[in-house]
Each structure stands twice: as structure tokens, then as C-alpha cells.
Amino acid sequence: MNHITTNEICTCTMCKNNNTTMSIEQCPQAHHKLSLSELIYFIDLSLTKCDQLSDQIDPGFTSSCSNEYPRSLIMSLLKQYGSHHPKDWHKYECWNGTETYTRNLIAHHSNRFTLMLVCWKGGPSPIHNHAGSDCLMSVLRGIVRETKYYIPENEHNIEKLDVKEIVEMQEGAVHLINDHIGLHKMETLDENQQAVTLHCYIPPYLDCFTFDIKDDDIETNIAHTTYDTEYGKTVS
């Protein structure tokens, strides 16, 4: 950390929310570039009282835990981390010649959060929901496009998916998606340009729904959470 010389107790929002007694010197909120390990530490610290979040969700379209944790604080931490063009995420960066994107696990707490790096090189993700969890994301490199869809009225008999919004996110942007907001898919603007995004899922989930539009039919599937790398090592 970059230290400043004071023993004054910090009174920023993060420290107040977590009832900490950090000095201003110790708190990362305002005065230095946040490292990836510090980001993980402070996300975990912010969720220490939230170990029951995973008991409140299910794979449906409308459940959400979004009022049960300090969402704005964690989005602020993601913004702070990404705003200084960090380099320490590079050790989790992975590209696969046959895949349009890779999913790379950085950190995981079974009841609190999952932190994942996604490396994009063209082509979209499936349209999907988030199984009742919040997905907070930060764009670390490049530009990505989100196509957002309205939640279907009948999740068991989906006849169409209507586009709700299309958003382009520049490097440094922080964004939120959950099942109250809608379904979505992500992709790069240019298949020849790479992009990298950092995703924090609160709480973690094991399965979600994906939606494959084929002609006039929509095929719904359950996708299990998998990773191309875990903690910097290729998954065999």
C-alpha cells in the first residue's frame, strides 16, 4: 500500500458500514491504487455478515438478495480497482484459440462471492439469467456490449425474448445485472479486438438458465458453472 502518515481513525462509508477501526493510513478507499489481493480482502470484509445470502436465492428469474449486502460499496471498490489500469490481473488472463471467451476463477467464498475474469475475443455469451445473484462487473480492457432482455412472463414456456436495452461499456465502466433487471448476453464490439471484464457474483451460484434462439423457437437449458482456469491454473 502507499502509506500516509496519520493515526486518525477513518470514517469513510466502507469503514462505517463494516464497523472497522482502521486508521486513514490503513484504509484503501481514498488514497491509493487498490491491488487485486486488497480488492478480494475488502469484498470479503464487506460480506462478513452475509453468510446466509446463498440460502435466499434459487435458479428462478425473480429472486434476489440485492438488499442484503452493501452493493454500492462493492461497486465502488471495483471502480477504484479498475480506475488505475491495474496489471496484477494478468496472471489470471487466459485465451483459448477455439473459444470466443474464457472464464477464469480468481477467488471464491461458498457463501459470499465469486470473483472471475472473463477474456473476450469476439462472439457473444449465451443469453442467460443469474440464478438470483447479483453480477457486478468492471471493464478492465477494451469495449463490451451488453444486450439486455425483458424477463419472460412464463419461464417454463417462453415464446419470445424482447430486447430491453443495448449498452456499450468502455474500459473503466462498472455495471450491475441481476434477475430483477433482466436477462442478458455479453460480447465484444469487434471480433478482432480483445476485451477483459472482472465479474463479482454475490452470492455464488452453481447453475443458471441459458436461452438459445433458433428461428422462431427458444430453447431453454440449465448451464453448470465451469471455468477454463482456477486460481491461475488450467482446469484439466
CATH code, domain with 184: 2.60.120.10
Please indicate if the annotation marks 175 as binding a ligand: no
Distance CA 96, CA 225 (A): 18
Comparing C-alpha atoms, which of 28, 73, 25 is closest to residue 48? 73
Residue 189 CA: distances (Å) to CA of 82, 115, 171, 198: 20, 24, 13, 17
**pLDDT for the residue numbered 69:** 85
What average pLDDT does the segment 35-50 reach?
A: 91
The verdict on 139 and 173 lying in the same domain is yes
Whether the pLDDT of residue 82 is over 70: the answer is: yes
Whether the pLDDT of residue 74 is over 90: the answer is: yes
Please indicate if the annotation marks 128 as binding a ligand: yes
What average pLDDT does the segment 42-54 reach?
A: 79
The verdict on 105 and 139 lying in the same domain is yes
Domain total in the chain: 2
The verdict on 52 and 17 lying in the same domain is no
* Local confidence band at 48 (pLDDT 50, 70, 90 cut-offs): confident
The verdict on 26 and 43 lying in the same domain is no
Distance CA 63, CA 207 (A): 14
Whether the pLDDT of residue 149 is over 80: the answer is: yes
Query: Tens digit of pLDDT for each residue in 154-206?
Result: 766 788 899 999 999 999 999 999 999 999 999 998 878 899 999 999 999 99
**pLDDT for the residue numbered 3:** 35
**pLDDT for the residue numbered 23:** 65
What average pLDDT does the segment 53-79 reach?
A: 68
